[in-house]
Structure 1
């Protein structure tokens, strides 16, 4: 008697980096179980996964799960894997009663202890491994292949179109919250310390900052706001080294197996969201300001430093970051 193919719905509403971090679960479900995998996210983030060959369908909502609940009921999913685990995803699971659902541990109490009292009870476990643990009862195992990111053919970029004719460093200047970002003056100092081509990457909101950083620096190319998301990913793919804050493009760089220099401000790698590079730990080096009693101040971030001094970024070792980037590029040649 033929065994029916599992039809599984994964829920992760946002954001870019968090969605990229779900890709090992998608791949393992498809490759190891032969499952038909569907993914539910917000409309604004659906493009992150549009070229993923392991997905059968991407579902989207603008605000409320009620927008698509009748259509999801009609799909008759065999299982739900809730990798967001918030009020909205719980409402969806309630609306799909009768379907076995699996969730992951968000470790909210541990994060609260770390941010509020600086007591570290976080497990030495990446969030990807916690995502995979949620799906493990279905019979999948970590294949240790890391993250996936697939770039549509129409988003492939030729760097020399922008005047970039040699090897370059990609510098991701943006992040959703200001306390995750180096100040503009520090980013400019970093670029001035690099005697190699630097490509600035970020969204439309980073364009003006990029212009200020690149001003009168002929080796710096400001592509912030000039590229679509997947085009930025393709520039990451072609970079010799990626320097990035704790943001979505950092995780895309990890999916593309690029050498990464990650810079950490108010957040910390101990939250379990550092670049996920199983079997390739030396591809990432993290720069943090140690022994700050106020850090981490948030698991997400703020518009400005709550203490007013912003030491977690103002005291970053800019020269050491630049030196490491140059040494890494030299070693790759």
Structure 2
């Protein structure tokens, strides 16, 4: 019996980047004969990788880099696939001393884009960059998009939601890594009025206060603030059941893409040009074009450096959500 080809995939960046790594994991497993695919990431991302059938073993970075290196060395990997390519992954690759393939990050070009508004970043999705790095291995994108696997225990049943939201609703992921990556509450309220359909607000515990403000401002039964009420996989299940998904530039946007949802992606200080727009799914970009300050470096406490926050405050909601119009006609 042939011995397995042991492959280590490195990715520590974010929830969204972990989801974007899923096509690479799948294609490595399916396209390399006898591949044994391991992944090394943060323990916080365990829910994303724990139930992925294409991953044979998981390794999590802890407080001791020495222990992690010892654990990884004991596996005797044949090659390393580095999907982050930063100081940490360079350190791990040097310690393992095996053949490696690393994604191009274009950090200098991103800095030029943010600081001087000179865009020389290739118009390419980051997943396509991943596969470009793997071309010497003969690995090709199978064009099956992103994966996200939800365990049975986290599948949200209809009666976990209010009666008004049990069968037809819109999911709106209101979080954001920085304040400049999410709309102010007043704009969230404006958007929810525009949608005018049962909406489930999604985010973590820190987002709950914003969700409560939105619900109070609207004062009706269309808003269910689920922020902080469900874990990541349960939030993914809610997204899976939604008719359409609205999202700031968050990991939940990538999860929506994994389920093939139509995504209305909302962009402020960040830009789709960085290569993390919804992958292989229909999407609409909601952003304020023509601003000389976009994209920007985030100011103190994650606020707008110029104090006007026009990238979010000036977004127009002059669009029709066709999927909801069809549903409303059915109700008439």
Q: Shorter-chain TM-score category?
A: over 0.9
Please point out which of 221, 230, 233 is paired with 1:230: 233
Change in Cα spacing, 1:298 to 1:143, as seen in structure 2 (3 Å) is farther
2:211 corresponds to: 210
- The runs of at least 4 consecutive aligned structure 1 residues that moved more than 6 Å come to 299-302
Q: Please give the root-mean-square deviation of Cα atoms over the aligned residues, in Å.
A: 1.7
Of 37-46 and 248-257, more deviation after overlay is shown by 37-46
Q: Contact 2:85 / 2:102 at 8 angstroms: preserved in 1?
A: yes
Q: Contact 2:73 / 2:96 at 8 angstroms: preserved in 1?
A: yes
Change in Cα spacing, 1:111 to 1:157, as seen in structure 2 (3 Å) is same
Q: Number of residue pairs matched?
A: 323
Matched residue SS, 1:251: helix
Tell me, yes or no, if structure 1 residue 294 matches structure 2 residue 290. no
Question: 2:50, 2:199 → 1: CA distance?
Answer: 29
TM-score by length of 2: 0.93
1:67 corresponds to: 67
Question: 1:65, 1:299 → 2: CA distance?
Answer: 30
Deviation (angstroms), 1:293? 0.3
C-alpha offsets along residues 92-114 of structure 1, whole Å, 9 cap, x if unaligned? 111111x1011111011211121
Question: 2:104, 2:299 → 1: CA distance?
Answer: 17
TM-score by length of 1: 0.93
2:52 corresponds to: 52
Question: 1:233, 1:274 → 2: CA distance?
Answer: 18
Question: 1:301, 1:96 → 2: CA distance?
Answer: 38
Q: Contact 1:126 / 1:274 at 8 angstroms: preserved in 2?
A: yes
Write the mapping of 1:12-51 to structure 2, written as runs, cut at 5 A.
12-34=11-33, 35-51=35-51
2:305 corresponds to: 306
2:265 corresponds to: 262
Deviation (angstroms), 1:90? 1.0
Q: Contact 2:266 / 2:286 at 8 angstroms: preserved in 1?
A: yes
Change in Cα spacing, 1:54 to 1:302, as seen in structure 2 (3 Å) is farther
Gaps of 5+ in 1: none
Gaps of 5+ in 2: none
1:315 corresponds to: 314
Question: 2:4, 2:62 → 1: CA distance?
Answer: 30
Write the mapping of 1:1-333 to structure 2, written as runs, cut at 5 A.
3-34=2-33, 35-97=35-97, 99-163=98-162, 164-215=165-216, 216-277=219-280, 280=281, 283-298=282-297, 303-318=302-317, 320=318, 323-325=319-321, 327-331=322-326
Change in Cα spacing, 1:64 to 1:179, as seen in structure 2 (3 Å) is farther
